[in-house]
A = this chain, B = another copy of it.
Amino acid sequence: MGSNFGINPMKEESIEFIKSGGVTAPRGFLAAGVSCGIKPRKQNDLALVVSQQLADVAAVFTQNRVKAAPVLVSMKRAAKGKARAVVINSGNANACTGQRGIEDAEQMAAVTASLLGCSPDEVYVCSTGRIGVYLPMKKIIKGIEKACKALNVEGYSDAAEAIMTTDTVPKQAALKVKIEDKEIFIGGMAKGAGMISPKLATTLGVITTDALLSPEYLNWVLRCCVQETFNRISVDGETSTNDTILLFSNGMAKNTIISSENPHKGIFKNALRLVMDRLARAVLEDGEGVTKVVEILVQGAASDKEAEVVARAVGNSLLVKCSWNGEDPNWGRILCAIGYSGADVDQSKIDLFYSGTQVVSSGVKTEVKINRLRKIVKMPMFSILIDLHKGEGQYRFLSTDLSERYVRINKGE
């Protein structure tokens, strides 16, 4: 099965992943993560990522019609397309908090801006955590002051920790890519771990690069890579009120500007997608109660859209997810989900494979031994290939199992 959504690192482009350095791997970025007392036990809960010079910024936000205050505030910034920083708190989503929530988010930007010496509309704001609770602004303001003092090129891991909610590990990625004679760095951080089923945006993610890009291309390439990575994962079919992904580019690599006319633009796009793919996979692997990551590839659909409908129905089926958790190769539930997906399928044409082993041929079970399938579904990662034999449409989707632990995590307050 193709990991990385079929993206190959392509050695000829001399892409090199960097172990240390997430959002501060690119030149000119500083970060900090501090504890300001929103979360219990002095965990980091306030993050700051700052570009030393004004950066071009592309942003994608949740498609949820109920948008958190920081999303509404950040959407206003997006029109400008330029910013210096993003300030993020965890432990409280500042969602469904009305006018007071908006004022609080604006104040987070204003306090950060005054300490950095920039304009408030050059500071993005993100929040993640429980919905419907007002922010403890005194703590937040103290936290922002603390974070501004702590800003450092080594602050990337503290920042990645400070945006965690039920995540068990911070999620970071960074790489170096050579375009012509210039070394370009791309770094990023993201959070999970529940309410993960992004639509056009997801969760919280901050990506930084020192590459110089045209604003048009910056926007296009972020949307494109989001579609191919974050928008194809699901832990629980829930689209959050707070999903935001920001891509900062400060041009400090001094490369020839990357625009839609640049012949090397594909190298940058591939590199960006690799970073985002790593982050998206890390979100899934650390999903609440997750023990399996399953890649679902649907092909032979009438259209890519129909393939997507089928892949999402299978990947979001509770019964399919429970069977994965129990390491039960219950292909019948997968066929059932295909059937109710809404796609116009002919059951007598469906083929189904588990990691390359055919289980269903023309809608009926093959002679494959159940023990062979059991071995496959015991793996922490396996693939399901569904061929509808109708047309050329295809879609790739990553999902997870559903465990008792997921329920346990989400039933408490």
Contact = CB atoms under 8 A, between A and B. Distances in A.
B132 A343 contact: no
A363 interface: yes
Interface residues on A, range: 35 or more
Contact of A98 (B65, B333, B348): B348
- Each complex incorporates copies of this chain amounting to 2
Nearest to A361: B98
A377 to B, nearest CB: 11
Contacts of A341: 65
Contacts of A363: 66, 96, 98
Interface string A323-363: 10110101111011111110111111010000000001011
A319 B66 contact: no
A373 to B, nearest CB: 11
Interface stretch (A29-37, A145-153, A232-240): A232-240
Contacts of A350: 66
B404 A364 contact: no
B410 A403 contact: no
Interface string A359-400: 010111100000000000000000000000000000000000
A317 interface: yes
Contact of A339 (B66, B319, B365): B66
Interface centre among A64, A93, A325, A348 (most CB of B within 10 A): A64
A332 B407 contact: no
A110 to B, nearest CB: 22
Given A66-B363, A96-B360, A330-B413, 19 more contacts: A65-B338, A65-B346, A66-B339, A96-B332, A96-B365, A131-B335, A131-B336, A132-B335, A132-B365, A236-B318, A236-B319, A237-B317, A237-B318, A238-B318, A239-B336, A240-B336, A241-B335, A318-B318, A325-B407
A28 interface: no
A332 B132 contact: yes
B339 A98 contact: no
